[in-house]
Structure 1
Amino acid sequence: MDHRPPPPSLLLAVLFLFFSAVTPLPSQLVSLLSLKSSLKDPLNTFHQWEVSGNVTESVWCSWSGVTCDPETHQITSLDISNRNVSGVIPASIKYLTGLRHLNISLNQFTGPFPTAIFDLPFLQTLDVNHNIFSSSFPPGVSKLKYLTFFNAYSNSFVGPLPTEFVRLRFLEHLNLGGSYFDGEIPNSYGGFQRLKFLYLAGNVLGGQIPPDLGRLASLEHLEIGYNAFSGGLPMQFASLFNLSFLDVSNANLSGEFPIGVTNLTKLETLFIFKNNFQGEIPAAIGNLQSVEILDLSDNNFSGSIPEEISFLKNLKDLRLMNNNLTGSIPEGVGELPKLEYLFLWNNSLTGILPQKLGLNSRLQRLDVSSNNLSGPIPANLCLGNNLTKLLLFSNKFSGHIPASLANCTSLYRFRIQNNRLNGSIPNGFGSLPNISFMEMNRNNFTGPFPADLSNAPNLEYLNVSENSFNDVLPESIWNSPSLQIFSASFSQLKGKIPKFGACKNFYKIEIEGNELSGGIPWDIDHCEKLISLNLRQNSISSIIPWEISSLPSITEVDLSHNLLTGTIPSTFGNCRTLEAFNVSYNQLTGPVPSSGIAFSTLHPSSFTGNEGLCGRVISKPCRTETESEPDVKRNQSKKYTGAFMWITAAAFGVGLIILLAGIRFFRSNYQRRFVAEESEARPWKLTAFQRLNFTADEVVESLSMTGKIIGTGSTGTVYKTEMPGGEIIAVKKLRGKHKETIRRRKGVLAEVEVLGNVRHRNIVRLLGCCCNKECTMLLYEYMPNGSLDDLLHGKNKCDNLVGDWVTRYKIALGVAQGICYLHHDCDPVVVHRDLKPSNILLDGEMEARVADFGVAKLFQCDESMSVIAGSYGYIAPEYAYTLQVDEKSDIYSYGVLLMELISGKRSVDSEFGEGNSIVDWVRSKVKSKEGTKEVLDDNAGGSCSSVREEMLLVLKVAMLCTSRNPADRPSMRDVVSMLEEAKPKRKSPDGGGRVVINGGGKRPAQKSNV
């Protein structure tokens, strides 16, 4: 007989069976440990899930995320949400047989949905929102017969909506939004027995909304917007009597107002904004007696606002902006007792604003700008002291500003410009603790000038231009503690400019076109942050204070059309930040400073109208007085007696120069090349376009210490460097020096002039410019995610930051919006001339920023460029014979960029054949239907049918942009419109512009005036 002991593995198995016979708990332990081992946990959030020593019956019940039945110790709830974990859910999870609630949301789970979860027989709630589960939704969910709650919001599921859910007779909450589900909403979805919450928004759903949804008698919350349906809302929705929340926004719906909705008397929230509804808003809207939020904005509604809206006594938020509404605002709207938000801007409304508005409600925001409203501003808008934003600009309001608004302590934004208001601005605004922005220009206000505004503790922006104050500037105006921008141009101001005193926060001062007299106060150097000073077209006399030139950030000075006398202080020649200086039409005399970049590049017109000025800048030599005979004799003797001293000094100087040259040559072998080149070219001129906490010398020094090359190109080298204060910036050192730099100076200054004033979220902001006679450096905000070229083709391609189509589309739209701004919102038009992926940078939020205007210039329609405009592969074909560029040239380059985003290929590749570009290759493929598939990058989702359709829509835009005939190319404004219509229907992780918590509906984040 063999008496050998059994193997250890057999002993463990026997022991496991023994303990399993006593209690089922160890299998739960095994399941949890298996789950932990299958996950990647970068934050070590499962550190508590450890077993040491003897295993007690309830050890796992104390682990984080685990809830047990206190009597049986069975795990009833498992919550591992929001731990940033990834990996797979193991099949052993099915051993948690007592599980009622499972939450794995807000993690990084990928791949197909884990079907082992379907083997949890008693599961009631399942939350997997905000993960990256993909593929079609698997069969088997109907086994969860007790399921009441399922949330899969924001994943990457594809294919049709799963119909098995309809078989779950206890299901009350179903959220399948924010994925790539396509096709139509199944008719069977009208068969849910107890469903209260249905969320399908942000997918790729199409077709018509099924009328069968009207059979969901228990439904309380329905969100199906952000899809691409056709037609309108079915009349059967009138049967959803329990519905309290309906959102069909941005769903491509059309037709008349969905009249069936007016039958839903329990409805509290109705969102139908951003559709194509037209016609009039029906009077039956007054049936929605429970409605609190009503948003019909961004449609094509016409006619008047129905009087019946006044019957909605529970209404808190009414948004009808961006329609074609006419007529007057019903007087009853002003009597709505709970109204907090009223947005009616950008319509064609007439008549007066209801005079009882604010009298009985807690009004917080009112925006009726850009209409044709007239009459007085209601007196009680801030009666409850809740009003924060009041926007009435671009109307025809008349009368006085109500005195009550000057006591509105909640107000922080006040915009009433471009109206017909008159009288004086009431006292009291200066005592408002929150007011930060006041725009009252282009009215008919008269004096006195509101002196108390200088006391407003948080006022940052004040514009009272184009009024008729007929008053003096108050002595205290420059003492405002927070004011940064002050504009009071063309306002009939007279008297002297008050002493500047404590104007330490002012960035911009504009008081042109008035009747100011006297001199410019000498204490202007107290305005240490001042960037722009405009005093033109007044009657200012005396001399120009040299203190202006000492301001550390001064960039623009306009003193033209005054009565200034004396000379231009020579210190302006040493002002390294000055970019624009205009003193034309004064009574100045003497030489114009010839040193400094600003004066060497200024146009002579900046000095026109001053007969006594002279100098190289205006091509008028300065004459020296003829010496008298006695003076000549005296000076002659002095010359002879000093000759020896001069010869000695010259010899010493030559020797010193040779010595210093030797030292310099020696040091150049040990110092970095960059610093050696730059240090010999000092002094530097720094032109700042916002407040900078560093100097030009600090930029050069930082480049020597921390500078790292992050890019090179035909126009220069880009460095990443850290300033002494810790700020990281990008420095572009332009190529060339000496005569070559001087020859390019106009092009460089064109970039500086354009970018310095550009403010757009899709344009890289230029912080400043450092230059001297031999070198020019442009200082940009640093973009941490590099260039599109690196992410799409180069060294960062493996990071896969632009791997999916949604991200690529977002980049394409951002670039289009940036170029659209340059083409349509800049005057004169700005043409980029070198649009390509390496000139598209990505910020920390992966927002596209158009960069590198090294070859950009202010466009003149009859001007021909003398240098090659653009890069090979992106140059429009007509350039070969016209040598001219315009907006259409940029659009061609943009079309090439689109093709790169769609295909993942470079603009020029050997794959395309000799002499062919990506444009030729794409056109050859498009000719055959099957060839089109080869154009779409599989890595971006080109193999998925729904994504493929979206990519093809953008490909059509690219084809239009690259038309050989420039006249056939769309404008960039049209490109933006076409791209917006081709928007991927899946929402971004934040819910596509919403505030979403676990897929629940909250107030959508919408555009608004500011």
Structure 2
Amino acid sequence: LFPLIPFSIFLLLIRASLVLAAATEAAAASTLLSIKSSLKDPLNTLHDWDSTTEFSSSNSRPVWCSWSGIQCNLTGQVTTLDLSGRNLSGRIPTDIRHLSHLRHLNLSMNSFDGLLEAAIFELPNLKTLDINHNFFNSSFPPGISRLESLTFFNAYSNSFTGPLPEELIYLRNLEYLNLGGSYFDGPIPTTYGKIFKLKALYLHGNLLTGPIPAELGFLNQLEHVELGYNEYSGGIPSQLSGLSNLVYLDISSSNLSENLPAELGRLTKLETLLLFKNQFSGSIPASWAHMGSLQILDLSDNNLSGEIPRGFSSLKELKTLSLMNNKLTGEIPQGIGELPNLESLYLWNNSLSGTLPQTLGSNCKLQRLDVSSNSLSGPIPPNLCLSNKLMKLILFSNNFVGEIPSSLTNCKALSRLRIQNNNLNGSIPLGFGSLPNLTFIELSKNSLSGPIPEDLGIAMKLEFLNISENSFNSELPGNIWKAPRLQILLASSSNIDGKIPDFVGCRSFYRIELDGNNLTGRIPPDITHCQKLVSLNLRRNSLTGTIPWEISTLPSITDVDLSHNFLTGAIPSKFNNCSTLENFNVSYNQLTGPVPSSGLVFSSLHPSSFIGNDGLCGKILKKPCLTEGPATEAVQIRHQPKKTASAFIWIMVAALGVGLLILVVGSRYFQAKYSRKLLHDKNVGSWKLTAFHRLNFTANDVLECLHMTDKIIGMGSMGTVYKAEMPGGEIIAVKKLWGKQQDTTRKRRGVLAEVDVLGNVRHRNIMRLLGCVSNNKCTMLLYEYMPNGSLDDLLHGKNKDENLVADWMTRYKIALGVAQGVCYLHHDCNPVVVHRDLKPSNILLDGEMEARVADFGVAKLIQADESMSVIAGSYGYIAPEYAYTLQVDEKSDIYSYGVVLMEILTGKRSIDTEFGDGNCIVDWVKSKVGMKNGLVDVLDKNAGASCASVREEMLLLLRVALLCTSRNPADRPSMRDVVSMLQEAKPKQKQKLVRRDEVVVDFPEP
């Protein structure tokens, strides 16, 4: 019996262990399900975390180990919890502390907010903790020092406030630390110099102040450091030269000053050094030429002076050198042209002199070269495109001489060529028209001569050509108008002679300037081919013949200047019916006859537009025409028909009127009866698809999607908007215009305005018009689909509290996007486009919450016979001067933008009973100025206004809104100034930091 006693005890122990294991497993399951129940999971990503699962000790592996985001060890204990990228929100429960074997916790890319749960710091085995891209706010909670095994901590892009946590210095195993993209303020703790195992340190994009601690130089294991986008004082401590393993250093846009420390030249492993947008002064240390591993050096946008160190010629690994926008002098070291790996050289806006290294490009890797706005001289290097990789060549505003290298015509990668304002001579080499990627050529203000190459007329992608202020003494190429994508031709004052070629093939041009030349002959009447033409300038030539009336038929023509020529005949009366025309100058010609005065166009022009024509007369010139008076009446009497003939004619007219009445009534009945069959009726003519972008579908594909009413996503005064999925999976929005006949003229003008504007603009913040489908009865406009609706929906919709718009970062992003879109319309379009109806319902949001300015139906439409209040804007957004001037311009748009910005900041509509009878949001906000906490009280708490740092950022934008809504239009800033002010006030969390360490970055050109 004795031997059996130990065996029975053994059985008891086994049973006890099984019971304990089952209890442990049940506790793990309970903890996980508690976490699930505490979270909001709108996408149901945790659907497989099934609470009905039965737990049994007989199972070889617990079922939760197969749940999404869960990993277990061999004994079934949870070691990894990965909830990243699931759009989760809510609070992590304190029960998470029971996952005591957890080694990896990832909560990144979600919408967690509030306090970071301190129970996380009770996980003794945790090695990696990732909470990046969330909304955790308040100060950083205490307790992280208990995570003694932690090696990786990423908290990038949250909303933490207060000082950086000093407790981190007790994490002796920490190798990766990222606290960037929040609102941490105050100095970097000097004690961070004691985290000796640290290899990567990210503190960028906060509100940090004070000097950069010299103690960071003790972290000799550091390989990657990003401290930029803060507001430090002082310079870079020379002790950072002790970071012997450093590979990457970025302290850009951080208010640093003083001289660059020469000691950094000891960083022989450094590959990337980014110090742009600071206030460094003095010269570039010559010792930096010892950084033999350097690949990217960006010192742009500082106050550096002196010369470029000649030792830079020995940096054999260098790929990108950016020293633009400084005060550098002297010559460019010739050896830089021989650097074997150089891809990008940016030296724009300095005071450099001497010659450009003639060996540039010989390394066969050069892709971008910008040395514009210097004092460089000598010839352009001949082998810049030896590699056939050169994409951008920007040399303008220097003193280059000699000819344009013919080797550039073989540069198939070249997209932009800007060499204007130099002293170049010779002819334009033949071959640029054959380059497959060339879109932009600017050769103006040189001494070029000889023939203008014919192959420019076959350039496949060329959009912009400026050859003004040269000395060609030759004719325009006969095929110049056939260039398929050419939109702007500027050839003023270039000694061009001969006749203007026929306009056959002119399909993309919207601006033509040929003024100040020696052109002869007539203006070709086939200018009707230029259907997109907006501006035509032919002044100061020797043109003869009459003014072609066909110009007046161009649907977008706005500005016509034919002055200082030898044109004869009368001004065609059809110009007076050209609704888009704003400027029409025919002064100093040999025109005769009356100036039309019955319509709006000519009556609004200044008399100087017609002076210098002795034969012109009319009311606008205060010169009566001789044909007016009794003589005219006598002629009319002499040709008066007999009464019998007159009676017969009246009978015929009456009969015809009755017939027309019957026809109109019948047609309306027919239309009402068969309007539902309009889309598929073969009798209304074939459908035509006009594409403004490359499309992967046909008109029939669009029609197939419009017979289901459940795809309607909106209705308005112009028509119905459908959501349509094309066969290739692309989702678009289709605006099918109403088929009613009333107001047809006005609505058609609105459609044409929208097509003209959206069909030609290209900007990320302007709604893309993909194309137009039409037949002789129906018109449909095709747009990119905006899944997040309009700004009005997000600010004022029923579910506004659940929308991302409550986040301040998203609101700022929308406000900046709208400003950039309107700035493009005002400053980068020629002619200027005034939107005239800017409001939240006309601002649409894509899947990334990027704003798109939409609905251009009233742009450029001011008609004398229409109600100005209808076409000039919407109540609550109209500038006050409209009441007495009946004029809308860019300043009117800026006022409307200010109202929209106030709505974004306050969360209120532009018109609300809260503001008082007859008052709008502008009156309400301005009434708060001067009151204690008045402006603070108007800010929307749902946007985070209760947070001090957010509140300060919102107040900066509110001041911009007040400027935009100044009662005097002259006091309002331009949209370009508005964009600058918004960019200066940008939140320092979650911003998309400018990264110039990637060679593919496309720098903005001056």
Q: Secondary structure at the match of 2:153?
A: strand
Equivalent residue number for residue 134 of structure 2: 131
Deviation per CA, 1:820-868: give whole Å up to 9, x if none. Answer: 9999999999999x9998799565445596999999999xxxxxxxxxx
1:57 paired with 2:61, answer: yes
Q: Distance in 2 between matches of 1:134 and 1:398?
A: 60
Which piece of structure 1 moves more, 450-459 or 87-96? 87-96
Give the letter for the 1:144 counterpart.
L
Q: 1:349 to 1:692 in 2, by over 3 A?
A: same
**1:466 equivalent among 454, 464, 469:** 469
Map 1:755-774 → 2, pairs under 5 A: none
Q: Distance in 1 between matches of 2:419 and 2:37?
A: 63
- Answer yes or no: is the 8 Å Cα contact 2:833–2:859 preserved in 1: no
Q: Secondary structure at the match of 1:214?
A: helix
Equivalent residue number for residue 509 of structure 1: 512
The offset of 1:390, in angstroms, is 0.7
**1:167 equivalent among 150, 167, 170:** 170
Q: Distance in 1 between matches of 2:893 and 2:579?
A: 34
Map 1:50-199 → 2, pairs under 5 A: 57=61, 59-60=63-64, 63-69=67-73, 72=75, 74-91=77-94, 93-94=96-97, 96-199=99-202
Q: Which runs of 5+ in 2 are unaligned?
A: 1-14, 676-689, 696-705, 727-731, 772-781, 863-871
The offset of 1:945, in angstroms, is 3.4
Count how many residue pairs are aligned between Structure 1 and Structure 2.
Answer: 937
Equivalent residue number for residue 418 of structure 2: 415
- Answer yes or no: is the 8 Å Cα contact 2:270–2:291 preserved in 1: yes
Q: Distance in 2 between matches of 1:250 and 1:291?
A: 21
Q: Secondary structure at the match of 1:645?
A: helix
Q: 1:601 to 1:794 in 2, by over 3 A?
A: farther
The offset of 1:449, in angstroms, is 1.3
- Answer yes or no: is the 8 Å Cα contact 1:448–1:470 preserved in 2: yes
Q: Distance in 2 between matches of 1:856 and 1:476?
A: 32
Q: Distance in 1 between matches of 2:209 and 2:237?
A: 15
Q: Secondary structure at the match of 1:380?
A: coil
Which piece of structure 1 moves more, 543-552 or 234-243? 543-552
- Answer yes or no: is the 8 Å Cα contact 1:763–1:851 preserved in 2: no
**1:395 equivalent among 393, 398, 409:** 398
Map 1:264-303 → 2, pairs under 5 A: 264-303=267-306
Q: Distance in 1 between matches of 2:768 and 2:549?
A: 31
- Answer yes or no: is the 8 Å Cα contact 1:994–1:1003 preserved in 2: no
Q: Which runs of 5+ in 1 are unaligned?
A: 1-14, 673-687, 694-701, 712-716, 769-778, 859-868, 996-1000
Map 1:393-542 → 2, pairs under 5 A: 393-521=396-524, 523-542=526-545
1:337 paired with 2:340, answer: yes
Equivalent residue number for residue 684 of structure 2: none
The offset of 1:175, in angstroms, is 0.9
The offset of 1:330, in angstroms, is 2.4
Q: 1:840 to 1:225 in 2, by over 3 A?
A: farther
Q: Cα RMSD over matched residues? A: 6.0
Q: 1:659 to 1:887 in 2, by over 3 A?
A: closer
Equivalent residue number for residue 681 of structure 1: none
1:257 paired with 2:260, answer: yes
Deviation per CA, 1:123-179: give whole Å up to 9, x if none. Answer: 322322222233333333333322221212112222322233322222111111112
Deviation per CA, 1:30-72: give whole Å up to 9, x if none. Answer: 5555555554444444455568799662755555544455x55
Q: 1:184 to 1:899 in 2, by over 3 A?
A: farther
Equivalent residue number for residue 714 of structure 1: none
Q: Distance in 2 between matches of 1:22 and 1:790?
A: 52
Q: Distance in 1 between matches of 2:951 and 2:843?
A: 26
Deviation per CA, 1:407-431: give whole Å up to 9, x if none. Answer: 1122111111122211111122222
The offset of 1:643, in angstroms, is 3.0
The offset of 1:752, in angstroms, is 14
Q: Distance in 2 between matches of 1:577 and 1:935?
A: 42
Q: 1:905 to 1:92 in 2, by over 3 A?
A: closer
Give the letter for the 1:563 counterpart.
F
Q: Distance in 1 between matches of 2:551 and 2:42?
A: 56
Q: 1:968 to 1:839 in 2, by over 3 A?
A: same
TM-score, scaled relative to structure 2: 0.75
Equivalent residue number for residue 250 of structure 2: 247
Q: Secondary structure at the match of 1:490?
A: coil
Q: Distance in 1 between matches of 2:598 and 2:149?
A: 84
Q: Secondary structure at the match of 1:345?
A: coil
Equivalent residue number for residue 697 of structure 1: none
- Answer yes or no: is the 8 Å Cα contact 2:132–2:154 preserved in 1: yes
Q: Distance in 2 between matches of 1:620 and 1:752?
A: 41
The offset of 1:17, in angstroms, is 9.3
- Answer yes or no: is the 8 Å Cα contact 1:386–1:410 preserved in 2: yes
Q: 1:835 to 1:260 in 2, by over 3 A?
A: farther
- Answer yes or no: is the 8 Å Cα contact 2:332–2:352 preserved in 1: yes
Sequence identity percentage: 59
Q: 1:613 to 1:377 in 2, by over 3 A?
A: same
Give the letter for the 2:443 counterpart.
M
- Answer yes or no: is the 8 Å Cα contact 2:451–2:474 preserved in 1: yes
Q: Distance in 2 between matches of 1:64 and 1:621?
A: 92
Q: Secondary structure at the match of 1:516?
A: strand
Map 1:277-676 → 2, pairs under 5 A: 277-360=280-363, 362-521=365-524, 523-545=526-548, 548=551, 551=554, 553-566=556-569, 580-588=583-591, 598=601, 605-610=608-613, 620=625, 639-652=642-655
Map 1:681-696 → 2, pairs under 5 A: none
Equivalent residue number for residue 993 of structure 2: 992
Q: 1:959 to 1:563 in 2, by over 3 A?
A: closer
- Answer yes or no: is the 8 Å Cα contact 2:817–2:850 preserved in 1: no
Q: 1:889 to 1:360 in 2, by over 3 A?
A: closer
Q: Distance in 1 between matches of 2:514 and 2:404?
A: 23
Which piece of structure 1 moves more, 21-30 or 921-930? 921-930
Q: Distance in 2 between matches of 1:571 and 1:959?
A: 45
Q: Secondary structure at the match of 1:133?
A: strand
The offset of 1:112, in angstroms, is 2.7
Q: Distance in 2 between matches of 1:501 and 1:824?
A: 31
Q: Secondary structure at the match of 1:462?
A: strand
Give the letter for the 1:992 counterpart.
L
**2:1005 equivalent among 997, 1000, 1009:** 1009
Deviation per CA, 1:667-704: give whole Å up to 9, x if none. Answer: 999999xxxxxxxxxxxxxxx9x9999xxxxxxxx9xx
Equivalent residue number for residue 776 of structure 1: none
Map 1:861-900 → 2, pairs under 5 A: none
Give the letter for the 1:286 counterpart.
A
Give the letter for the 2:61 counterpart.
E
The offset of 1:21, in angstroms, is 3.2
Give the letter for the 2:327 counterpart.
N
Q: Distance in 2 between matches of 1:753 and 1:528?
A: 10
Q: 1:795 to 1:231 in 2, by over 3 A?
A: farther
Equivalent residue number for residue 946 of structure 1: 949
Q: Secondary structure at the match of 2:313?
A: helix
Give the letter for the 2:398 counterpart.
N
Q: Secondary structure at the match of 1:257?
A: coil
- Answer yes or no: is the 8 Å Cα contact 1:785–1:846 preserved in 2: no
The offset of 1:366, in angstroms, is 0.8
Q: Secondary structure at the match of 2:471?
A: coil
- Answer yes or no: is the 8 Å Cα contact 2:484–2:508 preserved in 1: yes
Give the letter for the 2:993 counterpart.
G
Which piece of structure 1 moves more, 171-180 or 806-815? 806-815
